[in-house]
Amino acid sequence: MSADDYESTSGQARAAAGLPGPMIVLAGGVLVGAINIYLAASLLPTAVADLGGASFYAWNMTVYLVAMVVATMLTGRFLSRWGNVGAYLLGFAVFTAGSLACALSPAMAVLLAARGVQGFGAGLLSGLGFAVIRSALPPRLWTRGTALMSAMYGVGNFAGPALGGLFAQLGSWRLAFAVMAVVSAGCGALVPRVLPRVLPGVRRGVLSGGGHDRDLRPPVPVGSLLLVMAAAGAVSVAGVLAGTLAKAAGIGVAVLLMAGFVVHERGSELRVFPQATYRSGSSLKWVYLTLGLLACGVAAESFLPLFGQRLAGLAPLVAGFFAAAISLGWSLTQIGSSSVTGGRAVRRLRVLGPVLLAAGLLVQGLLQREETPLWLVAVWVPVLLVAGAGIGLAYPHLSVAAMSSTPDPEEGRRAAAGIATVTSLSIAFGTAVAGVLVNLGGGSMLDSARYVLFGLAFLCALGALTAHAANRTDPALAADRA
């Protein structure tokens, strides 16, 4: 039996035996990481009052996101080294340890280090959530599986601020991290029972008839890793710098570093993304770009509470729930979108998603007013739900396109793990861009709100062009057209 046959047979048999178990583990891993992106933001004012270190306030998000992006890049390495079960146990163990360290932190410096550990575990779990679908589920369920994984980002973006605000209201910021540790440990305990045991890379040489134990574990792409770390760091730092020029310079450095990353990957044998990403005529690069532009729209949620409080006089807790409408629309829409089949329908949803997201943000910008009346605030919510629905329509089909971009299982897992890398990095990049746009408004919150919403709408609209390019170059959809 070949390695490919072993993976397919064991995964489908396990999926047929009991879908809820694998899906709880896969979805739970993505969810705990997504929740903690914004959980700490709600808890930090209380934590700073307890620990001090206000000057390091913004670095909690920076450290977490950088560690998360790096970990998603290493997902393929961990899968090849320890297999599905081992990699997942490691991810949950690291996240649990980081969460406990956050809960017990005696000083802000320790909290920062713990957030880095927590972010690394979250990134690994996010990457695994997409990569392991290939072996945990049969191909006919890949679309619904990826829809559930990506929906967890929406649920996490909704639940994170709400849970953080609740525990901050109770004055128990340490308890919030302790609860996340318990949830993570519970999911980790399920791993050996429900996931298929795909053998690690060192055994694949035997299964594929190599005649001896050949170590097929991919070496760590150090050059690519350093460039992405630097780019992620520059984006995150740009989001917290004072002054528009400083923010713009930080984003410019990040763009140059990402350009260097692409050049390095094209000419290197050690890559983060599959070789098909850089091949002429391949659809994978357009798929990744579309996913990234969709994820940029989520960055609006970081600033919508501010606009709701300043322009409409909403209470902080109400403004937080109002801001999560994009994520809620994203999550709910994927329930129906994931069941859509047929090449023509899939092509339309891929393009319609970015258009709908951009239109929602554009209309939301046009509806901004000083001293917004309550009836107009009520209109904001469905508009933001429609914007989030744009992500939900396209995201699962783009994710499956990435997973199915190559028949090679190792490259397929790398392509799937790249979904989490692109999503995390794009949210960080979009947040930094939105931070620059807020400053362009100067002292006018109305102008700041319009700059942010119009600017993000423009970025998301570009996703319609990249989605069209992905449709045109996707061999599966081309065959369907024929």
Query: How many domains, in total, are found in the chain?
Result: 2
Q: How far is CA 73 from CA 76, 79, 136, 425, 426, in A?
A: 7, 12, 20, 11, 14
Average of per-residue pLDDT across 241-250: 78
**Does 203 score more than 50 pLDDT?**
no
Same domain, 285 and 190: no
Structure tokens of 436? 């620059």
Average of per-residue pLDDT across 390-415: 82
* Residues 200 and 279 both lie in one domain: no
pLDDT at 241 over 60: yes
**Percent residues over pLDDT 90 in the chain:** 25
Show the tokens assigned to 89. 């146990």
Using 50, 70 and 90 to split pLDDT, how confident is the model at 418? confident
So what's the pLDDT on residue 291? 94
pLDDT at 452 > cutoff 80: yes
Residue 464 in any domain: the answer is yes
My answer on whether 198 and 280 are in the same domain is no
Q: Tell me: do 187 and 289 sit in the same domain.
A: no
Per-residue pLDDT band at 198 (split at 50, 70, 90)? low
Q: Are residues 456 and 313 in the same domain?
A: yes
Any domain includes 210: yes
Give residue-wise pLDDT tens across range 15-45.
434 467 777 888 888 888 888 877 776 677 6
Q: Stretch 35-56: mean pLDDT, rounded?
A: 74
Polymer length in residues for the chain: 482
**Contact status, residue 53 vs residue 62, Cβ threshold 8 Å:** no
- Residue 267 makes CB contacts below 8 A (sequence gap 6+) with none
Distance of CA 52 to the CA centre of its chain: 30
Residue 237 domain-assigned (yes or no): no
Contact 291, 417 (CB under 8 A): no
User: In angstroms, rounded to a whole number, what is the distance separating the alpha carbons of residues 395 and 419?
Assistant: 10
Half-sphere exposure of 315 (CA within 13 A, CB side): 3
Cβ atoms of 222 and 115 within 8 Å: the answer is no
Alpha-carbon distances, residue 454 vs 92, 277, 450 (angstroms): 39, 30, 6
* Residue 407: pLDDT over 90: no
pLDDT at 14 over 70: no
The mean per-residue pLDDT over the stretch 143-155 comes to 76
Residue 424 lies in a domain: yes
Looking at the fold, whether 301 and 412 belong to one and the same domain comes out as yes
Same domain, 299 and 405: yes
Last residue of a domain, one of 221, 244, 260: 221
Tens of pLDDT, residues 349-388 = 999 999 999 999 999 999 999 888 989 988 999 999 999 9
Whether residues 202 and 279 share a domain: the answer is: no
Whether residue 240 lies inside any domain: the answer is no
How does pLDDT run across 344-360, given as a tens digit for each residue?
888 899 999 999 999 99
Q: 134: closest CA among 406, 346, 339, 425? A: 406
Give residue 162's identity as a one-letter amino acid code: A
- Do 95 and 198 reside in the same domain of the chain? yes
**101-128: buried (b, 16+ CB within 10 Å) or exposed (e) per residue?**
bbbebeebeebbbbbbbbbbbbbbbbbb
Q: Domain range for residue 37?
A: 1-221
| Residue 197, pLDDT score | 67
Alpha helix positions (H), 74-132: 75-104, 108-131
**Lowest mean pLDDT segment, chosen from 136-150, 221-235, 322-336:** 136-150
Select from 187, 206, 221 the last residue of a domain.
221
Task: Assess whether 215 and 275 both reside in one domain.
Answer: no
Give the pLDDT band of residue 127 (cuts 50, 70, 90): confident
Separation CA 94–CA 118 (nearest Å): 7
- Which domain CATH number covers 304? 1.20.1250.20
User: Smallest Cα–Cα separation from 31: which of 100, 125, 132, 96?
Assistant: 125
In contact, 237 and 250? CB cutoff 8 Å: yes
Mean of the pLDDT values across residues 138-143? 75
| Residue 275 shares a structural domain with residue 202 | no
Q: What's phi and psi for 315, nearest 5 deg?
A: -65, 150
pLDDT in tens, 304-345: 877 888 888 877 667 767 777 888 888 888 878 877 877 788
Query: What is the pLDDT, as a whole number, of residue 202?
Result: 41
DSSP three-state, residue 100: helix
Residue 255 lies in a domain: no
Would 155 be classed as within a structural domain? yes
Report how far Cα 334 is from the mean position of its chain's Cα atoms: 15
Whether 367 maps to a domain, the answer reads yes
Q: Assess whether pLDDT exceeds 70 at residue 12.
A: no
- The Cα-based distances of 143 to 127, 138, 240, 341, 482 in angstroms read 16, 10, 37, 9, 23
Same domain, 142 and 40: yes
Average pLDDT over residues 93-122: 93
Q: Which of 188, 221, 254 represents a domain boundary (last residue)?
A: 221
Question: Which of 347, 295, 307, 297 is closest to 458 using CA atoms?
Answer: 297
